[in-house]
């Protein structure tokens, strides 16, 4: 199949959104999992938002005037995030997916990002193989967790909505744990009133932009993340992502009745610092 890659436009949201919905639905159903996107409209609206954002580099693949795939590079941190990458199911050509990935990786190199990361469905052999061949490494096996809100308080750990004046302290905490902050993402979450902080011993010891698929969290200890998870009103989207290497926190979540929805992998290319604390990645990284 002959194809070309060009920058995405808002007018592409409908066609690209349908491909995104169908691609995730097809691969999920083949392996007995629920799809990440419950409807075409959810996928379309997400892609419309991405195609509208100046801090997201968007590309689509076209063949004979028809869109057959899309990919996105999130550029709001020292580390760039990739996704969602989707190709029309009846094609599923390694060349198309590889071309879309090579394009955004070249853009990331030109913009001098310290590293690039993504989260991949562990049961998707095709994408795992593609990303590995492109130089990515699996850094953390993840479990997507879902269930009823826990409504649990952790003694000595106070959770409250994040405020604008908390942002610098949260940035410092993220840098302490990851070696970089996610300040722009955090401030957007504060503006959207989804971000929460946890205080212990008189200072902020953890925060979450959202306990859910698109949110990330960091904490000085597992107790901070337990407090944030316990206070969440819901686990947005398919659920939240938890590194299974953190067996103490993973076990605690299972003991509270949360269930594993699907396995995933956090993968990186370029700079990666082993986290110096507890964390929950987003679907980006």
- pLDDT, averaged across the chain: 96
Q: Is a pLDDT exceeding 80 seen at residue 23?
A: yes
User: Under CATH, domain 146-263+272-280 is a member of which superfamily?
Assistant: Gcn5-related N-acetyltransferase (GNAT) (3.40.630.30)
Cα distance between residue 213 and residue 193, in whole Å: 16
Q: What angle do CA 41, 266, 164 make, to 5 degrees?
A: 70
Could you tell me the strand order of the sheet in which 203-208 lies?
A: 158-161, 196-200, 203-208, 217-219, 278-280
pLDDT band of residue 35 (cuts 50, 70, 90) is confident
Q: In degrees rounded to 5, what are phi and psi of residue 178?
A: -110, -15
Q: What angle do CA 143, 238, 191 make, to 5 degrees?
A: 105
Cα distance between residue 127 and residue 94, in whole Å: 9
Per-residue pLDDT tens over the stretch 41-80: 999 999 999 999 999 999 999 999 999 999 999 999 999 9
Q: Is a pLDDT exceeding 60 seen at residue 7?
A: yes
Per-residue pLDDT tens over the stretch 118-162: 999 999 999 999 999 999 999 999 999 999 999 999 999 999 999
Whether 256 contacts 148, CB under 8 Å: no
Please list the helix, strand and coil fractions of the chain in percent, rounded to the nearest 5, in that order: 35, 30, 35
Which residue, among 44, 34, 45, has the nearest Cα to 144 in the 3D structure?
34
For 146, the token pair is 């879902």
Instruction: Judge if pTM exceeds 0.85.
Output: yes
Cβ count near 273 (within 10 Å): 14
pLDDT band of residue 91 (cuts 50, 70, 90) is low
Which residue, among 123, 145, 267, 128, has the nearest Cα to 217 in the 3D structure?
145
* Residue-level pLDDT at 92: 56
Cα distance between residue 2 and residue 125, in whole Å: 24
Q: Is a pLDDT exceeding 60 seen at residue 81?
A: yes
Which residue, among 37, 144, 32, has the nearest Cα to 83 in the 3D structure?
37
Cα distance between residue 274 and residue 22, in whole Å: 35
Per-domain boundaries in the chain: 4-113, 146-263+272-280
* Residue-level pLDDT at 93: 61
Q: Is a pLDDT exceeding 60 seen at residue 27?
A: yes
Share of the chain above pLDDT 70, in %: 99
Residue 134, CB half-sphere, CA atoms under 13 Å: how many?
Answer: 26
Cα distance between residue 209 and residue 203, in whole Å: 18
Average pLDDT over residues 73-88: 95
Per-residue pLDDT tens over the stretch 158-200: 999 999 999 999 999 999 999 999 999 999 999 999 999 999 9
Cα distance between residue 226 and residue 242, in whole Å: 12
What is the dotted CATH code of the domain comprising 4-113? Answer: 3.40.630.30
């Amino acid at each position: 199949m002959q194809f070309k890659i060009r920058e995405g436009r808002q007018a592409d949201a409908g066609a690209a959104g349908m491909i995104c919905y169908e691609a995730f639905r097809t691969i999920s159903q083949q392996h007995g999992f629920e799809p990440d996107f419950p409807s075409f409209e959810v996928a379309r609206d997400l892609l419309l938002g991405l195609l509208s954002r100046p801090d997201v580099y968007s590309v689509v693949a076209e063949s004979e005037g028809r869109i057959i795939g899309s990919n996105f590079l999130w550029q709001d941190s020292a580390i760039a995030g990739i996704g969602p990458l989707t190709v029309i199911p009846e094609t599923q050509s390694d060349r198309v997916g590889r071309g879309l990935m090579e394009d955004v990786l070249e853009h990331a190199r030109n913009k001098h990002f310290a590293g690039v990361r993504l989260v991949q469905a562990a049961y998707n052999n095709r994408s795992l193989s593609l990303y590995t061949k492109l130089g990515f490494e699996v850094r953390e096996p993840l479990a997507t967790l879902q269930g009823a809100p826990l409504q649990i308080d952790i003694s000595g750990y106070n959770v409250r909505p994040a405020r604008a004046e908390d942002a610098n302290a949260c940035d410092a905490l993220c840098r302490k744990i990851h070696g970089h902050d996610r300040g722009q993402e955090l401030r957007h979450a504060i503006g959207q009133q989804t971000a929460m902080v946890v205080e212990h011993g008189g200072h902020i010891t953890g925060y979450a932009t959202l306990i859910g698929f698109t949110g990330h969290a960091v904490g000085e200890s597992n107790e901070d993340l337990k407090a944030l998870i316990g206070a969440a009103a819901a686990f947005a989207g398919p659920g939240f992502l938890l590194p299974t290497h953190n067996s103490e926190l993973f076990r605690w979540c299972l003991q509270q009745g949360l269930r594993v929805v699907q396995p995933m992998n956090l993968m990186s290319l370029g700079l990666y610092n082993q986290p110096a604390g507890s964390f929950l990645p987003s679907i980006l990284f």
